[in-house]
Structure 1
Amino acid sequence: MPLVRIDLETGRTDDEIRLLADVVQECMTDVFAAPDRDRYQVVTEHPPGRIILEDTGLGLERTSQQVVVQVFQQGRDTAQKQALYAALAERLEARCGLRPEDLVVSVAEVGRDDWSFGMGRAQFLTGEL
């Protein structure tokens, strides 16, 4: 059950944002094997200048189209994470026109006890999931 946060600068249309979120979800199902209807995404738009992404000495030139994708998940190995980075860069460029230089992805590992899907219960621990 990945929880995905997508941060971007204001200026895209609703359709552009939905397509971007859909492509990210496709990567969750194809690369991370997330089950159908296991879609947890939060898309946040920020005014210009509120996302600051320097290049960490890599020589990357970013534009106002930059996007940050944060994935909170459990149980994926290094190979799956690397496959996710590649799939997101490739598919977002092909389908959304997002330059790979404008994409920053972070994957964080969380435990089974770090989730509640509602009702004040930890469903992974109670056996509901």
Structure 2
Amino acid sequence: MPFTRISLRQDYSDAHLMQISDILQQSLEEEFAVPPGDRFQIFEALPARLRRFDRHYKSGGRSDNFIQFHILAGKPRSFEQKQNLCRVLCEKLHDCLNISPDDVMVMIQFNTSDEWSFSKGQMLSEEKL
């Protein structure tokens, strides 16, 4: 049940945004044990004046194509799952859209089912399994 906020530059076409969405979802399903159809993503396409980032901090060099993926997930994952997700996401973005791995930043946070309500005001922890 991850929720991902994807912040990027303006000017991506709708087709490219859908490709980024699909690549993220495939990577989450393959490497992060996310069930098919569990897709919750928000894209923030921001003008250059609203984007500030260090072009070299822990990177070989970021371009204007810099993308941040902020993933909020409801159950913990192992270090290997997190590592594989980041690696595979970078590889697929590069292979499919020629986005440099230096332009991809991933932040992962976890919380519990007590902090999620998908609808009707019912907490996920209240649902019958």
State the TM-score, normalized to the length of structure 2: 0.92
The match for 2:85 is 84
Amino acid at match of 2:61: E
CA distance in 2: counterparts of 1:47 and 1:57, whole angstroms:
21
Check conservation: 2:59, 2:102, Cα contact below 8 A: no
Note the 1:98-109 alignment, pairs <5 A.
98-109=99-110
The alignment status of 1:65 with 2:68, answered yes or no, reads: no
Residue 52 (structure 1) shift: 1.8
Structure 1 unmatched runs, 5+: none
Quote the RMSD (CA, aligned, Å): 1.5
> What is the Cα deviation at residue 5 of structure 1?
1.0
Name the SS for the 1:37 alignment partner.
Answer: coil
The structure-2 alpha-carbon separation of the partners of 1:62 and 1:28, relative to structure 1 and needing over 3 Å to count, comes to same
CA distance in 2, matches of 1:75, 1:112: 11
Cα gap change, 1:56 to 1:108, in 2 (>3 Å): farther
Structure 2: segments with no counterpart, 5+ residues: none
Cα distance in 2, alignment partners of residues 35 and 19 from structure 1: 19
For 2:112, the aligned partner's letter is: G
Q: How many residues align?
A: 128
1:44 maps onto 2:76 in alignment: no
Q: CA deviation at 1:86?
A: 0.4
TM-score (norm 1): 0.92
Cα deviations by residue, 1:94-124 (Å, 9 ceiling, x for unpaired): 011111111110000111211110111102x
Aligned residue number for residue 24 of structure 1: 24
SS in 2 for 1:45: strand
| In structure 2, distance between residues paired with 1:100 and 1:3 | 22
Deviations 1:2-24 (A, max 9, x none): 11111111011000111011100
Letter in 2 for 1:22: D
Distance apart, 1:64 and its partner CA: 1.1
